[in-house]
Structure 1
Amino acid sequence: SPNLSRKGYLFVSLLHNGKRKTFSVHRLVLNAFNRLRHSHEECNHINGDKQDNCLENLEWVTHGENIRHSINVLGVSYAQLGEKNGQSKLCSQEVHEIRRLYSTGTTSTRKLSEMFRISRRNIREIINRTAWQHV
């Protein structure tokens, strides 16, 4: 029978070739009855109930879409987003500038990394909107 995670999601442990593996119920449902997820997707509980794993309540979304859903539909507050996070090395204006410079095609991720003193990986995440999605 399913167990409850500390974050409120249902999960099950299954055995395969004598090895135990843990799976979240919502992902199992979507993988089985919708489609397999793409690497950049997360499962969203449409009504916000983490224990409602009916297919009609589940959808694959990007991380940014999941964040926006939690803010706009569920009213979740993310006080630690972006420059409000004490560990942030950038402000919103710099994120806009990174995206603008990259979109011109004249500034490489390496150059942007040097200019803003952050990793190339973080530059790519900003450009692809897997980081700083709210901006």
Structure 2
Amino acid sequence: MAERWRPIVHKGIPFPYEVSDQGRIRNARTRRIKRQQENCRTGYRYVMLSGPGKLYPLRIASLVVTAFLREREPWEQIDHINGSKTDDRLKNLEIVTQQINVRRRYNMQGSVKRTTNHFLTPETHERIKEIWQTGEYSQVDIARMFGITNGAVSKIIKRKSKVRSYKNGKQEDRKPDFSKAKKTKVRAKLNASMAREIYESTDSQKELAQRFGVSQVTVSKIKSGSAWRAATGHVSPSSEEPSRGTQ
């Protein structure tokens, strides 16, 4: 069967593009196929289309369903029948309710996938804390190592996360993959004695920034007295001048 094409209309707005029943998008005038992208968070494919005054990021599945089936109601969702989020062919799409969509997903995967740090074992929690205490890696780096979110790392470090067991899930014992860490430079927390040492030092701002693990802007602020004034005892030149009163 030949590939069918229909014009794209999104929320009543017509676009100069067409969508096919195979999930492809093309320019209606030039017939040039548009490049599609995949949302790294949701896994669904989308395309950027030029509309009235701006670019619109539109999901491929939604465009196919609207063009060949009908407009969805606010409470309805699009289900990928074979479970592949990137298969946006018309024969793989169906309009269903949220309840049916979740049930099908559960039956296919055995359980609804959750990306949460609660699936990590106590040993993994301890590894994360030990790596953080070295001061060599940021929370972003640690999140990349273990394949979890930055928020999960933050909760583990602050001891706000508890290890729980789930009936339909298994705890994972993850080991750090140091190759995924870019080793973001971790800024040091200054104290009064460190600020005073920076203020009194005659070294260059670059050398001081590298030694104390801070930015050159911070060093400059300490030197000028706009930061840590109480600790450094900085006195502005204007306050040192005697008052010009009549004698």
| Bin for the TM-score computed over the shorter chain | 0.5 to 0.7
The ranges of structure 1 where at least 4 consecutive aligned residues each deviate by more than 4 angstroms after the TM superposition are none
Q: Does 1:68 align with 2:114?
A: no
Q: Does 1:3 align with 2:40?
A: no
The structural deviation recorded for 1:79 is 6.8
Give CA deviations for 1:75-125 in whole Å, capped at 9, x if unaligned: 333579xxxxxxxxxxxxxxxxxxxxxxxxxxxxxxxxxxxxxxxxxxxxx
C-alpha contact (below 8 Å) 1:48/1:74 kept by paired residues: no
- For structure 1, the residue ranges without an aligned partner over 5 or more in a row are 81-135
State the match for 1:51 in structure 2: 86
The structural deviation recorded for 1:73 is 2.9
C-alpha contact (below 8 Å) 1:30/1:58 kept by paired residues: yes
- Which protein is bigger by CA-based radius of gyration? 2
- Residue type of the alignment partner of 2:65: L
State the match for 1:18 in structure 2: 53
User: Taking CA–CA contacts closer than 8 Å with sequence separation of 6 or more, which of the two structures ends up with the larger relative contact order?
Assistant: 1
Taking only the aligned residue pairs, the percentage that are identical comes to: 36
- For structure 2, the residue ranges without an aligned partner over 5 or more in a row are 1-34, 116-247
- Residue type of the alignment partner of 2:78: C
**Partner Cα separation in structure 2 for residue 19 and residue 50 of structure 1:** 27
Matches within 5 A, 1:35-114: 35-77=70-112
Give CA deviations for 1:23-49 in whole Å, capped at 9, x if unaligned: 100111000111111111011000000
How many residues get paired? 80
